[in-house]
Amino acid sequence: MISLAAPILGESEKQALSAVIDSGWLTMGNQVKDFETAFAEMHQVSEAVAVSSCTAGLHLSLAALGVGDGDEVLVPSLTFVATVNAILYVGATPVFVDIESVERPHISLEDAKNKVTAKTKAVIVMHYAGYLIDNLIDWRTFVDANKLFLVEDAAHAPGIETVGQIADAAAFSFFSNKNMTTAEGGMVIARQPAILEKIRALRSHGMTTSTLDRDKGHAYSYDVTMLGYNYRIDELRAAIGICQLSQLKKWNNKRRQLTAIYRKLFTESNITIPFKDHKITAAHLLPILLPENIDRTQVMKQLRTAGIQSSIHYPPVHHFSYYQKHFPGVKLSKTENFYKHIITLPLYPDLNQSNIETIVKSVNSCV
């Protein structure tokens, strides 16, 4: 079976985990601090805050920015459901925004302009499949003109230096299928140090001192200054993250090379790969668009029979039962058209050209 995604884990990760176990300190210690520092340096920011997931990062970002009851947040429906769930966690209301086109499935600025109201407090943009939204300056102009906050869901785009430079906060994912992994985990960066400090406090119950500070005698008690959460990351995951981060740029480059091979091999077929001329990408996913009147389920079944895993990224959030019940009547024609034809093919650094030739041949045969 050629898997859809596969983490790369080896001897360095094993040694890092063993070192943490031998140290006897398992949570919120020097490994977490070193991971945050290395991640911040890679993304050319002064600080970063490690959290338990990208979902937690989005939740804390919105909370720290003051988004809450009675507010609306503009958000794409073409995303993982966690992006939208985070809006509900702070008591705000998601307002679903269509994509630009099937060839460029990023949240549409034009549709956002039509849906902004006096209640709108923030916008979440998402770098779908790892392709960076290249009109973020226009988004910044839009949010500033309307006195809104801009949050980047950067789950698909770690290792790209420009991510988080324009938004008020950006959240990253280290889930097992991402470009780098800590099994579960995430990171947040923000423009304003005060926002990042609030996120740092919120991730650990709103406490004023850490367990490590008290263990070292730097403090003897603590206060709780806000209603916080348990969104901490542990030393074991941070140790893995340090190892993974050191390989991230190399892996991202390999993903871009493999994507170029896919594009070249599909040139003579009636398969479309979105973002044809997009220049900046972490190449997280390889989405393809099937031709009209093709039975996607049959294609996916035949690919599995051929030993090739595939998936769909993503079913629109507004189609899920929970969201249909609570937010009925949403119509996003471009998002829905994109969803009808999308399939995600395998993409990860351990693939080779022979694997991709097999995949492309199988897809063309199925179609």
Q: Are strands 93-97 and 72-76 parallel, antiparallel or unpaired?
A: parallel
| φ and ψ at residue 347, rounded to 5 degrees | -155, 115
The contacts of residue 131 (CB under 8 Å, 6+ apart) are 106, 274, 275, 278, 280, 281
What six digits make up the tokens of 257? 């090379």
Clarify whether 249 is annotated catalytic.
no
CA angle 184, 73, 111 (to 5 degrees): 115
Out of 14, 33, 119, 178, pick the active-site residue: 178
Spatial contact of 128 and 102, defined as CB atoms under 8 Å apart: no
Residue type, 182: T
**Running DSSP on this structure, what letter comes out for residue 76?**
E
Spatial contact of 206 and 224, defined as CB atoms under 8 Å apart: yes
What six digits make up the tokens of 140? 């910044």
d(CA 333, CA 336): 5
- Helices 353-366, 296-305: crossing angle, 10 deg rounding: 130
- Which residues are known to be catalytic? 178
